[in-house]
Amino acid sequence: MDTHARQKLIDRYKDGYRAVSDALVGATEKDLDARPAPGKWSAREIVHHLADSEMTSAVRLRLLVASDRPQIAGYDQEEFARRLYYDRPIEASLDAFKSARRTTGEILDRMTEAEWAREGTHTEHGRYTVEQWLEIYAGHAHNHAQQIRVARASARKS
Q: Over the chain (158 residues), what is each successive 10-residue block's mean pLDDT?
A: 96 98 97 94 98 98 98 96 97 98 98 97 97 98 98 85
Q: How many helices (H) and strands (E) does the chain have?
A: 9, 3
pLDDT computed for residue 155 by the predictor? 85
What pTM does this model have? 0.95
Alpha carbons 142 and 144: distance in angstroms, whole number: 5
Helix (H, G, I), strand (E, B) or coil at 97: helix
Alpha carbons 106 and 149: distance in angstroms, whole number: 28
CATH number (1.10.10.10, 1.20.120.450, 2.160.20.10, 3.40.50.620) of 3-151 reads 1.20.120.450
pLDDT computed for residue 156 by the predictor? 80
pLDDT computed for residue 158 by the predictor? 66
Alpha carbons 76 and 133: distance in angstroms, whole number: 18
pLDDT computed for residue 84 by the predictor? 97
Q: Which long-range contacts (CB under 8 A, 24 or more apart) does 3-6 make?
A: 6/116, 6/131, 6/134
pLDDT computed for residue 121 by the predictor? 98
